[in-house]
Structure 1
Amino acid sequence: MKVDISLVDGVLHVQLNRPEQKNAVDFDVINALAEALEEAETNRHIHTFLIKGHRGAFCSGGDVQAFHSLYTKEEALTMLRPMNENLIRLRKLPCVSVCYIDGPAVGGGAELAAACDKVYISAEGKAGFIQGRLALSTGWGGAACLKQKIGAKNAFHMLTSASVYDAERLLSIGFADEKAESLDEVLRDLKPVTIPGEAVTSYREPVNASAFYKEMRMEADRCASLWESEEHHKQVAFFLNRKQ
């Protein structure tokens, strides 16, 4: 299974399980995440939605090898829109969303982390919006989430630098919330939420929710336009040749 899902004591564990690809997202992962989100949306016994990676990596974003055959804007949207919708659903969950970063969370992986309510990170954790290295912008809605999480100024610098930040810097700017050197530490810190799910959702909602979700959705269209550019395809070819 590319995503392992289990419910233990009110915590829905969602583990990305593609260690050879540093837990990169492909179409199967997109579909599995949608199924996990549906479980969290409908099961009132779930108080925490916990996303983690396998073997010392959180998520390396979209799988370049899996998606390199997507060439046009329309083809790119077949991947971007479903994952964009997953992040919007993650933002609307009637339970608390948490992720544990104990390795790289880059590209779309950083977007996924930014959409969570709380981010735990180990000393080995790191995150970066490196989409610019492939001549792209964020496509899953992560930039909007990032701006809300760390403020527009810090978000702009993080997005445009395409740099990878270490754990201490992520903690200092507010991208990460707590340090944890093991998953057990994270689980010990999680507190069951006893208030109604509707209240959880309302507390998390942005002041202007419709504008916020519209901004998230616009990222998919902007990224798709860049996706079909010659510069993007050149950078993808360079990346794949280097890996080979």
Structure 2
Amino acid sequence: MEQDHQTQLIVTKADGICTMTLNRPHVLNAMTVEMFSLLQDAIAKASTDEEVDVLLLRGAGGNFCSGADLGVLTALTDQSDADQSLTIINDFIANLHQMPKPVIAVIEGVAVGAGLNLALHADFVIATEDALLQEPFVQIGLTTDFGGTYLLPRLVGTAWAKRLALLGERITGKKAEEIGLIYRAVEASQVESELEKLVTAVRRLPKQAYAVTKEGLGRCQIEGLEYALDWEKQQQPSLIARPEFQTLVQAKVKRT
């Protein structure tokens, strides 16, 4: 197992799983500018690391993330500092969202504001049933960030997006699953077993097909049906030509 100990971000790599753990538990893992830079570097490395099959996002100390540190928000009043910090944020969020590999986030405790939106860029979010999720930006005079304005309507529709982003409604992990915001909510004692099952499932899938399909879900949702049909027309033949397609089809035929 490889381990890179950083004060604010712990990155470990073992058995094809790269785990990035936000590590400021004394402030519920509130993110700093330094943490943004560490995430930027770690995500970029994981995306091209052939030894990494799955990226896992977690928080230390029983919480995922309480959002951006207040010091960060204060610093953003300076235009030059704001441009630099927001550019770093946008870079690593875009890389995370477009990561061709499976990305899983585990929410325990609180996931608030930017912390929640960071998790929502994962392909799958597992949360404890009693976890607390909230988008409180408007309540403190800000707008949703970390791509939340893009994510929320697509995940839960306009009505729930407005409840979350405009009213700052706080919901549990259980409710988040019910409205389609996350993949699954489980009892705290079941988190690790649920995570293990999901990791096993995604690692069984053909990597190229997963990456292409994930890309398509993102692109075609924005561009519309005609674009989607054309995109699928371009991608499917190359996937059909790959050896794993023939192998998997033959195996499926034998089982039926």
Where on the TM-score scale, by shorter chain, does this alignment land: which range? 0.7 to 0.9
Q: Are residue 200 (structure 1) and residue 213 (structure 2) matched?
A: no
Aligned positions of 1:103-122 closer than 5 A: 103-122=109-128
Structure 2 distance, partners of 1:42, 1:7, is 14
Matched with 2:9 is 3
How far 1:126 moved relative to its partner? 1.6
Matched with 1:127 is 133
Instruction: Name which of 184, 193, 206 aligns with 2:192.
Output: 184
How far 1:52 moved relative to its partner? 0.5
How far 1:93 moved relative to its partner? 0.8
Identical pairs, percent:
23
Contact 1:115-1:142 within 8 A present in 2 as well: no
CA 128–48 in structure 1, closer or farther in 2 if over 3 Å, else same: same
Matched with 1:40 is 46
Q: Are residue 87 (structure 1) and residue 98 (structure 2) matched?
A: no
How far 1:145 moved relative to its partner? 1.8
Structure 2 distance, partners of 1:148, 1:39, is 28
How far 1:96 moved relative to its partner? 0.7
How far 1:122 moved relative to its partner? 0.7
Structure 1 distance, partners of 2:140, 2:223, is 28
Structure 2 distance, partners of 1:188, 1:145, is 26
Contact 1:41-1:93 within 8 A present in 2 as well: yes
Contact 1:47-1:193 within 8 A present in 2 as well: no
Alignment gaps of 5+ in structure 2: 1-6, 225-256
For 2:123, the aligned partner's letter is: D
CA 188–23 in structure 1, closer or farther in 2 if over 3 Å, else same: same
How far 1:157 moved relative to its partner? 2.1
Aligned positions of 1:56-75 closer than 5 A: 56-75=62-81
1:34-86 Cα shifts (integer Å, max 9, x gaps): 12212221112322111000111101111112441331444323222211221
Give the SS at the match of 1:130.
coil
For 2:65, the aligned partner's letter is: C
For 1:196, the aligned partner's letter is: K
Give the SS at the match of 1:207.
helix
RMSD: 2.1
1:159-212 Cα shifts (integer Å, max 9, x gaps): 111122112211111112112425522442112154234x33321232347779
Matched with 2:164 is 158
Matched with 1:236 is none
Between stretches 140-149 and 118-127, larger displacement belongs to 140-149
CA 185–143 in structure 1, closer or farther in 2 if over 3 Å, else same: farther
- The aligned length equals 211
Structure 2 distance, partners of 1:146, 1:116, is 13
Contact 2:75-2:82 within 8 A present in 1 as well: no
Give the SS at the match of 1:120.
strand
Alignment gaps of 5+ in structure 1: 213-244
Give the SS at the match of 1:98.
strand
Structure 1 distance, partners of 2:91, 2:204, is 25
Give the SS at the match of 2:219.
coil
Aligned positions of 1:191-230 closer than 5 A: 191=200, 192-197=203-208, 199-205=209-215, 206-208=218-220
Q: TM-score, with normalisation over the residues of structure 2?
A: 0.75
Structure 1 distance, partners of 2:130, 2:116, is 15
Q: TM-score, with normalisation over the residues of structure 1?
A: 0.79
CA 165–125 in structure 1, closer or farther in 2 if over 3 Å, else same: same
